[in-house]
């Protein structure tokens, strides 16, 4: 087999076999196929697409390029979730103890933040002592005993994705549906769960800007997962405005605790309950999604999973007192209030720009090696549809001077107060 022939095949829009795709992925990961040939191939995929068989073969070849976790010694259905990334997305932190409390087993590998989106691992690291690297045995034992564990993604998971993504990033080939779907699914399939819920964010703060694109990506990912023998559901959720109120690592831990105590923001509580509802159904804890959703929502609202959260944090070395005294998080930095100068209703909060503003303050990374500040960020006091009076605080900026001027300017240009009371569609679609 010659790489040049396979590039030609894709260039002329012919279907590749699983063997051919595996040859490309293995050859590139081992350094036998040079960047220039892989770049040409990726661009041919960008223009000519891949069908579901090719996309599945690509995901499986990438999965098999590294370690595939074996979780079979944990009894029952192991569940996992993945978010395509948004602003203020602290869903995993609330979800893990919730599903564990309700009887499912969640074994999760998460990522760090890059650009305007935050990462679960950075957020958890704002809890003093919290360990995001655990030996595999300890990871599995924790899932067996407590019902959940969240660790950083091991470098051995889908190494093909790492090298392919780096090349896509510099060859303008990131935004290709089969490449995105196989990239995400290769890592999920390698993580060993039996059932996966994909939270595909749609809107200004998300990777997928339109519902159509979100649906197309979801369909491919669900089909790949099913062909690989997993139970998979995708939900499309709104990212027109940040999720919840708080953006920034420790601030998002604060809001996660609030949500587990029973008084979190309605949008965050709903998204967590929807994902939990599907996971509990896949795990056989409930008979249908509707009862899973109700059980999850009610448990969040009555604070039922809070103790499990403390147990989970403690098991990973985290300081539970930090969570019990969470108000101290709000006193670690200076604050600046952005006030409304017109009255009406909040019509728009551009999630992408709020994410960028938080990054400028130091909450996120512009490049992979940036050091972040765990305590800076933004607390939105208003959500879209809320009434605003002149002088009301739109948001509080938690800062250490760095990036403040820029962040204030971005924030001031990224919200709109007007006469319309808008109601956003939060849960847009479910793809089974």
Sites of contact with ligand URA (CB under 6 A):
165, 174, 179-180, 183-184, 207
Q: Which residues make Cβ contacts (< 8 Å) with residue 43, sequence separation at least 6? A: 171, 172, 173
Set 22, 83, 126, 183: catalytic member = 183
Nearer to ligand URA, 187 or 246 (CB): 187
* Angle at alpha carbon of residue 124, lines to 364 and 129, rounded to 5°: 120
Set 63, 168, 281, 382: catalytic member = 168
CB 282 within 8 A of CB 77: yes
Which residue's entry shows tokens 């978010």? 83
Question: Is 183 known to be catalytic?
Answer: yes
CB 423 within 8 A of CB 385: yes
- And the tokens for 78? 């192991």
Set 63, 187, 201, 246: catalytic member = 187
| Nearest distance from C-beta of residue 208 to ligand URA, angstroms | 10
Nearer to ligand URA, 173 or 276 (CB): 173
| Nearest distance from C-beta of residue 30 to ligand URA, angstroms | 21
Set 81, 82, 90, 382: catalytic member = 82
| Nearest distance from C-beta of residue 27 to ligand URA, angstroms | 20
Question: Is 168 known to be catalytic?
Answer: yes
Distance of alpha carbon 7 from alpha carbon 2, whole angstroms: 9
Nearer to ligand URA, 96 or 184 (CB): 184
The upper half-sphere exposure of residue 109, i.e. CA atoms within 13 Å in the direction of its Cβ, equals 25
Nearer to ligand URA, 184 or 384 (CB): 184
Distance of alpha carbon 84 from alpha carbon 77, whole angstroms: 23
| Nearest distance from C-beta of residue 46 to ligand URA, angstroms | 12
| Nearest distance from C-beta of residue 55 to ligand URA, angstroms | 12
Question: Is 226 known to be catalytic?
Answer: no
Set 161, 267, 379, 392: catalytic member = 161
DSSP string over 261-317: HT---HHHHHHHHHHHHHHHHHTTSSSSHHHHHHHHHHHHHTTTTHHHHHHHHHHTT
Burial class (CB in 10 A: 0-12, 13-18, 19+), 290: exposed
Nearer to ligand URA, 21 or 295 (CB): 21
Question: Is 399 known to be catalytic?
Answer: no
Of all residues in this chain, which one has the CB nearest to ligand URA in the complex? 183
* Residue 227, helix vs strand vs coil: helix
Nearer to ligand URA, 218 or 396 (CB): 218
Question: Is 82 known to be catalytic?
Answer: yes
Residues catalogued as catalytic: 82, 161, 168, 183, 187
């Amino acid at each position: 087999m010659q790489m040049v022939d396979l590039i030609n095949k894709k260039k002329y829009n012919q279907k590749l076999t699983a063997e051919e795709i595996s040859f490309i992925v293995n050859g590139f990961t081992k350094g036998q196929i040079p960047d220039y040939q892989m770049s040409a191939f990726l661009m041919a995929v960008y223009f000519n697409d891949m069908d579901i068989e090719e996309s599945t073969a690509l995901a499986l070849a990438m999965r098999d390029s590294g370690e595939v976790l074996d979780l079979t010694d944990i009894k029952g259905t192991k569940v996992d979730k993945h978010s395509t990334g948004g602003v203020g997305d602290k869903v995993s932190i609330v979800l893990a103890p919730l599903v564990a409390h309700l009887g499912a087993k969640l074994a999760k590998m998460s990522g760090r933040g890059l650009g305007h989106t935050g990462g679960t691992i950075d957020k958890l690291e704002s809890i003093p002592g919290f360990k995001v690297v655990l030996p595999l045995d300890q990871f599995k034992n924790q899932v067996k005993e407590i019902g959940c564990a969240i660790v950083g993604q091991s470098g051995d998971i889908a190494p093909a994705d790492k090298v392919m993504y780096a090349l896509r990033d510099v060859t303008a080939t990131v935004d290709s549906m089969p490449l995105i779907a196989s990239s995400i699914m290769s890592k999920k399939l390698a993580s060993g769960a039996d059932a996966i819920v994909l939270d595909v964010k749609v809107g200004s703060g998300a990777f997928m800007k339109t519902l159509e694109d979100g649906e197309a990506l979801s369909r491919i990912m669900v089909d790949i997962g099913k062909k690989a023998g997993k139970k998979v559901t995708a939900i499309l959720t709104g990212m027109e405005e940040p999720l919840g109120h708080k953006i920034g690592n420790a601030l998002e831990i604060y809001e996660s605790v609030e949500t587990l105590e029973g008084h979190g923001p309605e949008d965050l509580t709903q998204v967590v309950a929807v994902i939990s509802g599907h996971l509990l159904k896949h795990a056989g804890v409930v008979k249908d999604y509707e009862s899973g959703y109700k059980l999850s929502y009610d448990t969040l609202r009555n604070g039922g999973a809070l103790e499990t959260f403390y147990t989970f944090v403690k098991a990973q070395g985290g300081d539970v007192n930090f969570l019990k005294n969470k108000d101290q998080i709000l006193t670690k930095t200076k604050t600046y209030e952005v006030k409304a100068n017109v009255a009406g209703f909040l019509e728009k909060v551009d999630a992408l720009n709020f994410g960028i503003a938080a990054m400028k303050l130091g909450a996120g990374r512009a490049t992979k090696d940036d050091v972040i500040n765990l305590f800076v960020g933004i607390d939105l006091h208003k959500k879209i549809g809320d009434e605003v009076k002149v002088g009301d605080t739109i948001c509080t900026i938690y800062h250490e001077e760095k990036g403040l001027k820029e962040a204030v300017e971005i924030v001031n240009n990224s919200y709109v107060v007007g006469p319309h009371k808008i109601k956003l569609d939060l849960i847009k679609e479910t793809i089974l």
